[in-house]
Amino acid sequence: MHHFQYRGGELYAEDVPVSTLVAAYGTPLYIYSAATLRRHFAAFDSAFDGLPHLTCFSVKANSNLAVLRTLGAMGAGVDIVSGGELYRALAAGIDPAKIVYSGVGKRGNEIEEALNAGILMFNVESMGELERISRIAARLGKNANVSLRINPNVDPKTHPYISTGLKKNKFGLDMETSLAAYARAMELPGVTPVGIDCHIGSQLTSIEPFLEALDKILIFREKLVAMGISPRYLDLGGGLGIQYNEEEPPHPREFGQALTKALGDLPLTLVLEPGRVIVGNAGILVTEVVYTKKTPSKDFVIVDAAMNDLIRPSLYDSYHAISEVRPAERDTLNVDVVGPICESGDFLARDRELPAVAPGEYLAVYSAGAYGFTMSSNYNSRPRAAEVLVDGDTVTLARRRETYEDLVALER
């Protein structure tokens, strides 16, 4: 699953002791494993070898340039949701013809930047966006390939904050509105409808919601064909889950087999947008124990990583496994692992059985490669963590730690 393993009583990232990385770069520290990235991308991408397909890594999961370059070298495209992510993708050397632009609120300048870059297509989320893309493309004398994002009203059975395919969600267009939008796209200058897009949510632990959505999309495709529109691309988004605790998500191979059977020999290129399943377990967050604290009702382990570094436990009440960097035989305690931020919601774990660690020791927070650093902030004026990429015994400082000077560099 990943390349963070114990050797001789010490946690290693591939061939490098984590304690060596901490000594060089401090904490909090994000550590990514290149071997895990490659392994996960290959496992996912190869699952669809029976279909024409393009695997576009979801940049919002982890936008570090070193991560993007590693995946780009394996042939990955990317799924972006902002002009900043477009800038990052191009800086990392991603082929623009492998870039898909999603997201509900594309601004005019972002659309223009994407058109000038020559991206593969826009996943359009509203009639207003379709009209705006048309106006900008016509003004630039360019053509924009578009897919309309269909909201199939399928329950992905995941956390409500990361559910995107229900009719109450802000994403996409319902079926009837989508038909009208495709008809309008045929009339508009500067746009060509080339595909269908559908994304129902994230951290899915079953393929059944995907297949339910696909059934509806294939019926919808038949209606488009009857209108004289023959989509070349079918973008089914991402969302395949990973194991954080006791989840048992399907292997990408199972997903690939199911889609291959469902799509048969339809003349479609499948576009997939995995994020978490590629990078989630390829990263850990290492943090130092600053204090331990015992109250009449609770034991606390106070660490130097906080909700500004990893917000998922606070935002989603999500579980991340935590273990010692250098394990030792000792009693365990039921503790809350908390950070320094002045919020009761600042925790990495609650009611967790952990060894009785002492100040100065280090803990590793697992499954932190996705939506970890990308969702971090400077709340409480805390400089953001450093990121390193380990490839065998080679270490790359992928992002230096922010300084106090960085915190105020843009302010006047």
324 annotated among ligand-binding-site residues: no
241 annotated among ligand-binding-site residues: no
283 annotated among ligand-binding-site residues: no
Dist CA 70 CA 41 (whole Å): 10
Dist CA 12 CA 19 (whole Å): 8
Dist CA 226 CA 230 (whole Å): 9
312 annotated among ligand-binding-site residues: yes
Three-class SS state of 335: strand
275 annotated among ligand-binding-site residues: yes
Which region holds residue 178: left if phi is over 0, alpha if psi is between -120 and 50, else beta?
Answer: alpha
Dist CA 279 CA 85 (whole Å): 16
343 annotated among ligand-binding-site residues: yes
Dist CA 372 CA 30 (whole Å): 9
280 annotated among ligand-binding-site residues: no
Please confirm, yes or no, whether 342 is among the known catalytic residues: yes
Determine phi and psi for 76, rounding to 5 degrees: -70, 145
Dist CA 366 CA 346 (whole Å): 17
Three-class SS state of 356: coil
273 annotated among ligand-binding-site residues: yes
32 annotated among ligand-binding-site residues: no
Q: Which residue in the list 342, 353, 360, 404 is annotated as catalytic?
A: 342
How distant, in Å, are the alpha carbons of 76, 165, 327 from that of 47?
Answer: 14, 24, 37
Which region holds residue 190: left if phi is over 0, alpha if psi is between -120 and 50, else beta?
Answer: left
Candidates 218, 173, 371, 195; CA nearest to 271 is 195
Length of the chain: 412
Residues tagged in the binding site annotation for pyridoxal 5'-phosphate: 239, 273-276, 371
Residues annotated within the binding site are 239, 273-276, 312, 316, 343, 371
- What residue numbers does the annotated binding site for substrate cover? 276, 312, 316, 343, 371
Residues known to be catalytic: 342
